[in-house]
């Protein structure tokens, strides 16, 4: 049984500022769908409005003449006449799954495409043919009836199998997501305990931190209690693709100020997968950010953009800062 996958191909961006506004024609694998949106796997989990995308269902198998294929693994090179997201019509196919298409003269390798199984090309001649049951004899009617029942059985089995495989893939992704979040939570708690332990070991000195969430930096200052001046300093800075966390930043900066090695888990902590109250989220650009608050609660008086937890989870916004005081809340 061939593996079935779903993709969304971006047709337009009906909402200003949508993360996919500059990705017209590109494809992203779909991990959920409802009447409003399609969830796309790209940089993370993001939603695409149904009206903005074309849902394409594929099978990973060799194509046959007359079928349509979706390019998903284009072997890119200068002057390549096709790219990921293109849909081509199969003209010839060999025993290895390599094909020639009507749209260009370059052979497509087996690994470069997947066969489209929804919205297939209609056979106009077949559409014009109508089955006249009244004109059939008894034996012919029975033969047609048996064929119809067999087709129904096969279709039911195939759809059931495909649905089961989709559920398995979703469960596997959920399990991976849960394990990743749990590991990050452990590292954050480790960083908190590490900072407290380093304070106790470095007696006779005062330790101050300068945190700049906008620049995503934490500076640790090691000061002498007697003279009061800075003896040592260390800095930690999150990369643009990393989620900023004050606790991990403090542990890194303090260790650098003390001349100690920084554990690899601090430098390569997994990114959060579960948005929580107190997190800051943003759109794909990272410019527009908002504080995640409890559902149906009042926004804080401090001002600034906010978003309810249910909406942050629904629209899969990117988590850019999870420095809340208590991990898990």
pLDDT in tens, 44-89: 567 888 888 999 999 999 999 999 999 999 887 777 889 999 999 9
Task: State how many domains the chain has.
Answer: 1
Q: Is the pTM of this model over 0.85?
A: no
67, HSE (Cβ side, Cα atoms, 13 Å): 18
Q: Which domain holds residue 293?
A: 275-329
In a domain, residue 128? The reply is no
d(Cα 309, Cα 154) in Å, to the nearest integer?
A: 43
| pLDDT score recorded for residue 14 | 85
In a domain, 310, yes or no: yes
292 falls within a domain? yes
Identify whether 281 is part of a domain. Answer: yes
pLDDT digits (tens, 9 = 90+) for 146-186: 666 666 655 555 556 555 556 566 555 555 656 888 889 99
Contacts of 15 (CB under 8 A, 6+ apart): 49, 52
CA atoms within 13 A on the CB side of 194: 23
Q: Is residue 287 part of a domain?
A: yes
Q: Is residue 328 part of a domain?
A: yes
With beta carbons less than 8 A apart as the criterion, state whether 100 and 92 touch.
yes
Average predicted confidence (pLDDT) for the chain:
82
Note the pLDDT of residue 18: 81
Which residues lie below 8 Å from residue 8, measured CB to CB, with a gap of 6+? 27, 28, 30, 38, 40, 48, 53, 54, 55, 56
Instruction: Please choose, from the candidates 161, 63, 58, 67, the residue with its C-alpha nearest in 3D space to the C-alpha of residue 117.
Output: 58
| pLDDT for the residue numbered 123 | 37
Q: Is residue 218 domain-resident?
A: no
Beta carbons of 101 and 89 less than 8 angstroms apart:
yes
Is the distance from CB of 195 to CB of 206 less than 8 angstroms? no
Structural domain contains residue 312 = yes
- Residues of the chain short of pLDDT 70, as ranges, are 1, 36, 41-45, 119-178, 285-286, 301-303, 325-329
């Amino acid at each position: 049984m061939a593996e079935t996958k779903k993709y969304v191909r971006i047709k337009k961006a009906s909402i200003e500022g949508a993360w996919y506004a500059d990705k017209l024609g590109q494809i992203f694998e779909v991990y959920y769908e409802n009447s409003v949106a399609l969830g796309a796997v790209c940089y993370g989990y993001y939603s695409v409005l149904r009206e903005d995308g074309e849902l394409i269902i594929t099978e990973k198998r060799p194509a046959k003449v007359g079928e349509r294929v979706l390019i998903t693994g284009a072997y890119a090179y200068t002057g390549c006449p096709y790219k990921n997201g293109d849909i081509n019509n199969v003209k010839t196919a060999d025993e290895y799954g390599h094909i020639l298409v009507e749209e260009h003269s370059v052979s497509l390798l087996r690994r470069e495409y997947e066969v489209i199984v929804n919205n297939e090309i209609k056979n106009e001649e077949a559409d014009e043919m109508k089955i006249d049951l009244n004109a059939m004899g008894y034996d012919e009617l029975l033969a047609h009836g048996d064929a119809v029942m067999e087709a129904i059985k096969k279709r039911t089995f195939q759809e059931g199998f495909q649905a089961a495989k989709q559920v398995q893939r979703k469960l596997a992704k959920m399990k991976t997501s849960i394990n990743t979040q749990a590991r990050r939570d452990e590292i954050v708690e480790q960083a908190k305990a590490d900072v407290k332990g380093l304070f106790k070991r470095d007696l006779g000195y005062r330790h101050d931190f300068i945190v700049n969430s906008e620049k995503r930096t934490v500076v640790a200052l090691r000061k002498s209690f007697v003279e009061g001046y800075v003896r040592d300093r260390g800095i930690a800075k999150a990369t643009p693709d990393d989620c900023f966390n004050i606790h991990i930043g403090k542990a890194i900066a303090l260790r650098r100020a003390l001349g100690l090695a920084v554990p690899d888990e601090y430098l390569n902590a997994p990114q959060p997968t579960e948005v929580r109250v107190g997190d800051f989220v943003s759109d794909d650009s990272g410019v527009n950010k908002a504080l995640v608050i409890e559902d149906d609660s009042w926004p804080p008086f401090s001002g600034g953009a906010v978003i309810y937890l249910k909406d942050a989870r629904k629209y899969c916004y990117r988590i850019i800062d999870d420095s809340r005081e208590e991990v898990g809340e």
